[in-house]
């Protein structure tokens, strides 16, 4: 038998209260106060960006080449990076 709207709402409220209790105890996530939120600086937290991280850039490809690269599936940009790195290593491109 389907639950009534009242039963669904009671179940939702109970689950929400359990979730809040768990959060306040720090079981699943930290609870941040408004002053803590206001004190945060913009950007990624210090120490979370690895040294030598990749750099975002813009490059222009012919449409057919881009379609062929994307057709190789997810991770195509990483594979292009590896191909270019290997070309530099072999001396085909100079860094």
Q: Choose between 29 and 89: higher pLDDT.
A: 89
- When pLDDT is cut at 50, 70 and 90, the band that residue 80 belongs to is very high
* pLDDT of 77 higher than 90: yes
pLDDT category at 69 given cuts 50, 70, 90 is very high
DSSP of 2-15: PPPHHHHHHHHHHH
Whether 80 contacts 71, CB under 8 Å: no
> Which residues in 42-64 are b (16+ Cβ under 10 Å) and which e?
eeeeeeeeeeeeeeeeeeeeeee
Structure tokens at 49: 């960006």
- Distance set, CA 52 to CA 55, 62, 93 (Å): 9, 29, 21
Of residues 8 and 95, more confidence is placed in 8
Band of the pLDDT at 12, cuts 50, 70, 90? very high
Question: Confidence class of residue 95 from pLDDT cuts 50, 70 and 90?
Answer: low
- 90 or 25: whose pLDDT is higher? 90
């Amino acid at each position: 038998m389907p639950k009534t709207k009242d039963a669904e709402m009671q179940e939702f409220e109970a689950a929400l209260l359990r979730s809040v209790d768990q959060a306040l105890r720090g079981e699943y996530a930290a609870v941040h106060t408004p002053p803590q939120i206001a004190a945060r600086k913009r950007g990624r937290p210090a120490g979370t960006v690895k040294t030598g991280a990749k750099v975002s850039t813009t490059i222009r490809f012919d449409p057919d080449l881009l379609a062929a690269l994307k057709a190789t599936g997810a991770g195509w940009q990483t594979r292009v990076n590896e191909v270019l790195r290997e070309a530099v290593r072999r001396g085909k491109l100079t860094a």
